[in-house]
Chain A
Amino acid sequence: MPNNYNNYSPAHLEYLCKAKKRRLMIKLARILVFLVFLVLWEVSARLELIDSFITSTPTRVLGTLYQMAGDGSLYYHTSITVWETTLGFTIGTLGGTLIAIVLWWSKMISKILDPYIVVLNSIPKVALGPLFIVWLGNGTTAIVAMALAIAVIVTIMMVYSGFQNVDPNYLKLMQTFGATKWQTLRKVILPASVPTIISALKVNVGMSLVGTIMGEFLVSKAGLGFLIVYGGQVFKMDLIISGVVVLCLVSVALYYLVTFLEGRMLKWQE
């Protein structure tokens, strides 16, 4: 795209100007919605229109976060959750992709395992939580297993269907050169599925986080999930909402990390 504004006609410049204004408007409106929400929340709590014991207030949440940042507990719990999520996410994605490769490699295996994968996909993984705790102990391992269980099945299904959607003519082309299965996998199937694998990553970030929080709810020793459950048990709404706020920030950060990776891996799509 030429970036030289001198080449544009006045009409086009006006069009660009309008488009720019509209984008700015949307951004401002988004921020405004958030601010209005915060102000209404705070004001109605102060005027005692709502019970701040149940709803907490933005300033108290900020205060809690500030105090937790001061005594280091904010960093401690966040880093534990991020670490568990990263583990579940990485192992889930790698393992899921590996299993998808096995399924692609052998049609027979994929046909045999098909119903099992469908069933595993549809059961709520949280139901397996108590099993994981009994088998793996009341700690990080069980939590990561929870995250993994959620992430891995979705990855298998998404990546395998990505493999299957590769245009068969690409495979025919490779065959005409006498390519081996391994060559076809490495030079066609995997690169062609990079966009699918990245969408799987995006889904997995969310999935692993869900799994981790569920695990922390059940195991309850540390992490943002523990913080939220603990807040509920001792009826400290400030703590619950602070936990949720941090969780929001964590999930957004992880999502953008994956989006950043996507941009670097899909240069050819520009």
Chain B
Amino acid sequence: MAEYTAAVEIQNVSLIYHSLEGGETEALRNISFTVKPREFVSIVGPSGCGKSTLLSLIAGLLRPTSGTVQVEGNKVEGPSPKVGYMLQQDYLFPWRTVLENALIGLEVMGQKDRASVERVRELLTSYGLEGFEDHYPGQLSGGMRQRVALVRTLATNPDICLLDEPFAALDYQTRLFIEEEVGRILRESAKTVLLVTHDISEAVAMSDRVIVLSKRPSVVVNEHKIDLGLENWSALAARNEAAQFKTYFRDIWKELDVHA
């Protein structure tokens, strides 16, 4: 095991986009933060502030204009099996069955064998998808599809999971339910999680820490260590029972400085 104290370390990262129509766009300005192993961190910020861009940097899909991005002590040079990414929607391939969808990452990485398929089957079973392995995504509910997407991300066994507003496309009730479930699964499997969202209450309910970004060009406005005093983590309990929930919400709301 390499020695590292930070699962993800972002140092003085800036990013400037170039385009023929829009000219230069400064998306991120001098951003620094770290995520400790097994920590659940949320990033909130106004729409279009470059939250997803940050995730793309960590996933190795983009390079920063300046500054460094490190994952487990190594500079990010491209996509790495250590990092799993969950997109805004499930993006399951409609022509693949549930099992085939869950296996796509292993297939691409050339790690699909009997043992890994067995492991994915077990994951599907433990997340309530038993009996649906050979169904097509079109036959599943939104919540189930999102769970398949989670299994797909976990199938390659990443240490760090990046979640890019993964619940945004779900209806409110399903969303509360899936939040709870995904949060529990990720905590139980001891993953480091970085969740991007514009939903403050989701961020507070899900995370150990919330990082607030400003609008473009984004800088880190503040960080909040979340301690709701709950005995066992539960997003629902956080929303309904924790007294400090509202305080966190109000503080972050102020910092977001939203003017519609």
Query: Nearest Cβ distance between residue A1 and chain B, in whole angstroms?
Result: 13
Q: Check if A187 sits within 8 Å of B104, measured CB to CB.
A: yes
Taking CB atoms and an 8 Å cut-off, the chain B residues in 85-130 that contact chain A are 85, 87-89, 91, 93-96, 104-105, 107-109
Q: Check if B91 sits within 8 Å of A169, measured CB to CB.
A: yes
B84 within 8 A of A: yes
Residues of A within 8 A of B48 (CB): none
Q: Check if B91 sits within 8 Å of A167, measured CB to CB.
A: yes
Complex Cα gap A167–B96 (Å): 16
Taking CB atoms and an 8 Å cut-off, the chain B residues in 130-151 that contact chain A are 136, 138
B243 within 8 A of A: no
B80 within 8 A of A: yes
Complex Cα gap A192–B104 (Å): 15
Taking CB atoms and an 8 Å cut-off, the chain B residues in 68-84 that contact chain A are 78-81, 83-84
With beta carbons under 8 angstroms apart, the residue of B59, B88, B93, B138 that contacts A176 is B59
A179 within 8 A of B: yes
Interface residues of A (CB under 8 A from B): 167, 169-170, 172-179, 183, 187-188, 191-192, 194, 268-269
Q: Check if B138 sits within 8 Å of A268, measured CB to CB.
A: yes
B218 within 8 A of A: no
Q: Check if A178 sits within 8 Å of B109, measured CB to CB.
A: yes
B221 within 8 A of A: no
Shortest 4 CB-CB contacts between residues of A and residues of B: A176-B85, A178-B79, A177-B108, A179-B108
Q: Check if B91 sits within 8 Å of A173, measured CB to CB.
A: yes
Complex Cα gap A173–B105 (Å): 9
Q: Check if B87 sits within 8 Å of A187, measured CB to CB.
A: no
> Size band of the B side of the interface?
20 to 34
Residues of B within 8 A of A191 (CB): 93, 95-96
Pull 7 A–B residue pairs with CB atoms less than 8 Å apart, ordered by A.
A173-B87, A174-B104, A176-B85, A177-B156, A178-B81, A268-B94, A268-B95
Known contacts A173-B104, A177-B109, A178-B81; 11 further A-B pairs (Cβ under 8 A): A169-B88, A170-B93, A174-B108, A176-B61, A176-B79, A176-B85, A177-B104, A177-B108, A178-B78, A178-B109, A191-B95
Complex Cα gap A187–B96 (Å): 10
Instruction: Give the residue among A167, A174, A179, A268 with the most B Cβ atoms within 10 A.
Output: A268
- With A173-B87, A268-B94 in contact, do A187 and B107 touch (Cβ < 8 Å)? yes
Query: Nearest Cβ distance between residue A178 and chain B, in whole angstroms?
Result: 4
Taking CB atoms and an 8 Å cut-off, the chain B residues in 164-203 that contact chain A are none
Q: Check if A194 sits within 8 Å of B61, measured CB to CB.
A: no
Query: Nearest Cβ distance between residue A167 and chain B, in whole angstroms?
Result: 7
Residues of B within 8 A of A172 (CB): 61, 87
Task: Give how many A-B residue pairs fall within 8 Å (CB-CB).
Answer: 55
Residue in B closest to A183 when the chains form the complex, CB atoms: B108
Complex Cα gap A177–B108 (Å): 7
Q: Check if B87 sits within 8 Å of A169, measured CB to CB.
A: yes
Complex Cα gap A165–B91 (Å): 15
Complex Cα gap A183–B93 (Å): 14
Complex Cα gap A128–B61 (Å): 47
Q: Check if A188 sits within 8 Å of B93, measured CB to CB.
A: yes
Query: Nearest Cβ distance between residue A127 and chain B, in whole angstroms?
Result: 38
- With A169-B87, A172-B61, A177-B108 in contact, do A194 and B80 touch (Cβ < 8 Å)? no
With beta carbons under 8 angstroms apart, the residue of B79, B89, B96, B138 that contacts A175 is B79
Residues of A within 8 A of B108 (CB): 174, 177-179, 183, 187
Instruction: Give the residue among B85, B91, B95 with the most A Cβ atoms within 10 A.
Output: B95
Query: Nearest Cβ distance between residue B164 and chain A, in whole angstroms?
Result: 10
Complex Cα gap A183–B105 (Å): 11
Residues of A within 8 A of B84 (CB): 176
Residue in B closest to A180 when the chains form the complex, CB atoms: B108
Complex Cα gap A173–B152 (Å): 11
Complex Cα gap A76–B89 (Å): 57
Complex Cα gap A227–B96 (Å): 48
Q: Check if A177 sits within 8 Å of B105, measured CB to CB.
A: yes
Query: Nearest Cβ distance between residue B250 and chain A, in whole angstroms?
Result: 34
Query: Nearest Cβ distance between residue A20 and chain B, in whole angstroms?
Result: 28
Query: Nearest Cβ distance between residue A111 and chain B, in whole angstroms?
Result: 13
Residue in A closest to B137 when the chains form the complex, CB atoms: A268
Residue in B closest to A178 when the chains form the complex, CB atoms: B79
